[in-house]
Chains A and B, each alone.
Chain A
Amino acid sequence: MKYEPVIGLEVHAELKTKSKIFCSCSASFGGDINTHVCPVCSGMPGSLPVLNKKVVEYAVRMGLATNCDISAVSVMARKNYFYPDLPKAYQISQFDKPLCQNGRVDFEVDGEPKSVRLTRIHIEEDAGKLLHEASADESLIDFNRCGVPLIEMVTEPDIRSSAEAKAFLEHIKTTLSYLDICDCKMEEGSIRCDVNVSVRPEGSREFGTRVEMKNINTFSGAVRAIDYEVSRQTELLFEGGTVEQETRRWDDIKLENYTMRTKEDAQDYRYFPDPDLLPIEVTDEWVESIRESLPELPLSKLRRYIGDYGIPEKDARLIAENKSRADFLDKCEKLGADAKTVTNWLLGDIAKLQNDSGKELEESGLTPAGLCALLELIGSGKISGTAGKKVLGVIFDEGGDPLKIIEKLGLYQMSGQDEIKSIIEAVIKENEKSVADYKKGKQTAFGYLIGQCMKASKGKANPQVVNKLLKEILD
């Protein structure tokens, strides 16, 4: 019998608001320990949370981008559990009335369309951070992250392989970055996910017993965790065993998981509406105004790049997946540049400069207008392609006007016929032997003469023009 994996994901994304979800503390990452903390986010008795309006707007943005119904009325609820990183002993989250429901995420897996239903998206607060390094018998708590806003996206069990899970996660990440609502810095934990895995005989419509896996910090880690768990369950069933419903913790170093909680000690969160917070009403007008502010999303860009610009699919994907590249291309195209040429530069020399410097496009000195000006200078033969690459490097590092850089570096290409003719004539005079060789049919002599002309022009002559004129003169 063959077994088929059935996978559902719970993805948490930190929203990039300036302040926290219920207080005015900074939500920025990396503050000195316990310096972004106040009575509200440290759970002092008597403090009162007030909801950050931006959090609702950002969550609705994601809801609209994933085809969700936006709830006209939603309610914050308390999720009760004890853990040292949770100072109130409850997390303010949403339960039976989440902000967004019944969504659908459309994406592609190896070029094939795939759809995953989203059960819900709700808003909640993040917990603090436990630091274990300090000593062998104690942990330290940093409350800075307490109250940083999160959205949690829960899928239906529609995913059938680790590859699909990875493509889904990549798509969610791209969407979050397009919507400009999350930093998407995996190393800072801005996106985290829990995975639910079960297996069932292929063709069966029933679900098997599912196991939840926690502590997955990277997308590649999710792939490893899913593959491990699918084969663990499959082997168990082959040997005649049964899968227990439990929560397992993934260890991405040892590449194995182990039981955290069994069904017997499953958490009982005793959710109830938070009496400190009033219901959230999102009117149709509010939804529409948020909808109008949505940017063009990656899938639509991809289709435009392939369909309208004729960019090869693989390249189009590499551009559309990266918001800053896509924005850059769109701006260049608006300025009149050829989209295919820009794509080649973006994925070639510019990508190499980015790799070497570790800089994002917007951190470099290169602007769409700068690249367009440079491409025009190359296109019209004012500078050679090789010189263009040199200029690109300078602009990337320091910014500046391509014309001025060309002047400063003396990179102008000599295209004037008369100027080049006089160089060629001088070279012919000094190389009578090579000329004679060429006339006897020795092709290498011609190459040598071109080389001499280029040298005499200090590399500034346009090689195509030299080639053409030399031929005219000699033949």
Chain B
Amino acid sequence: MAITKKEIEHVAKLARLDSSGGVFDTLSADMQSIVAMVDTLQELDLSAMEDSVDLSRKNVFRSDEVLSSFPRDKILKNAPSQEAGGVSVPKIVE
């Protein structure tokens, strides 16, 4: 499978990476070899397998019980900027 520059730009956009300045120009060959390696998985014959869901472990549940949450100052400790108990971010307008 060939990795085009367009695909790299798409992935970069999804990951919010800055693709300007030609930093990704050399990446298409690298990514192509990574994808080619993963492509070898396609050689496995899985036609006999019915479902990909492994049910050997399943249904791990908790009961609907409220326990105490974290103190707010602890939750906000790593926030780069906070105000009035909230994490403060640049204005979002849709």
Q: How many pairs, one residue from A and one from B, have CB atoms within 8 Å of each other in the complex?
A: 130
- Is A34 interfacial (CB-CB < 8 Å)? yes
Pair A19/B65 contact, Cβ less than 8 Å: yes
Smallest CB separation, A131 vs chain B (Å): 6
In the complex, what distance in Å separates the CA atom of A26 from the CA atom of B66? 5
Q: In the complex, are the beta carbons of A268 and B10 less than 8 A apart?
A: yes
- Smallest CB separation, A312 vs chain B (Å): 41
**Does B84 interact with chain A (Cβ within 8 Å)?**
yes
As a 0/1 sequence over residues 58 to 72 of chain B, the CB contacts with chain A under 8 angstroms (1 = contact) are: 111111111101101
Q: How many residues of B contact A (CB 8 A)?
A: 35
**Complex interface residues of chain A between 266 and 300 (CB less than 8 A to chain B):** 268, 270, 277-281
Asked if A279 contacts B14 (CB within 8 A), the reply is: no
Q: A33-B86, A84-B92, A279-B53 are known contacts. Are A50 and B61 too (CB-CB below 8 A)?
A: yes
Q: A18-B65, A38-B70 are in contact. Are A141 and B55 (CB under 8 A)?
A: no
A42 contacts B75, CB within 8 Å? yes
- Contacting B at CB under 8 A, from A94-150, are 97, 130-132, 134-143
> Within 8 Å CB of A142, what residues of B?
85-86
**B residues in contact with A37, CB < 8 Å:** 69-70, 72, 75
At the interface, yes or no: B27 with Cβ under 8 Å from chain A?
Answer: no
CB of A467 within 8 Å of the partner chain: no
Of the listed residues B53, B59, B86, the one surrounded by the most CB atoms of chain A closer than 10 A to its CB is: B86
Prevailing SS type, chain A contact patch? loop
Contact check: which of A73, A137, A141, A215 meets B53 at CB < 8 Å?
A73
Query: Is there contact, CB below 8 Å, between B86 and A53?
Result: no
Interface of B is mostly: loop
Residue of B nearest to A19 (CB): B66
Q: Are A278 and B59 in contact (CB under 8 A)?
A: yes
Q: What residue of chain B has the Cβ atom nearest to residue A286's Cβ?
A: B59
A37–B70 Cα distance when bound, in Å, is: 6
Which chain A residue shows the least CB distance to B54?
A279
Q: Which residues of B contact A138 (CB under 8 A)?
A: 81, 83, 88-91
B17-54 vs A, CB cutoff 8 Å, 1 = contact: the mask equals: 00000000000000000000000000000000001011
- A45, chain B: closest CB distance, angstroms: 10
A130 / chain B contacts, CB cutoff of 8 Å: 92
Flag if B91 contacts A137 (CB, 8 Å): yes
Assess whether B51 is in contact with A73, with CB atoms less than 8 Å apart.
yes
- Closest B-chain residue to A280, C-beta based? B59
B84 proximity list for chain A (CB < 8 A):
33, 134, 140
- Taking the closest CB of chain B, its distance from the CB of A86, in whole angstroms, is 12
Q: Do B57 and A278 touch across chains, with their CB atoms under 8 A apart?
A: yes
Are A34 and B86 neighbours in the complex by a CB distance under 8 Å?
Answer: yes
B69 touches A141 (CB 8 A): no
Residues in A lying within 8 Å of B, measured CB to CB: 17-19, 24-27, 32-39, 42, 50-56, 73, 75, 80, 82, 84, 97, 130-132, 134-143, 215, 249, 260, 268, 270, 277-281
10 further A-B contacts with Cβ under 8 Å, apart from A36-B69, A140-B86, are A19-B66, A24-B67, A37-B70, A51-B62, A75-B53, A134-B86, A138-B89, A278-B59, A279-B58, A281-B58
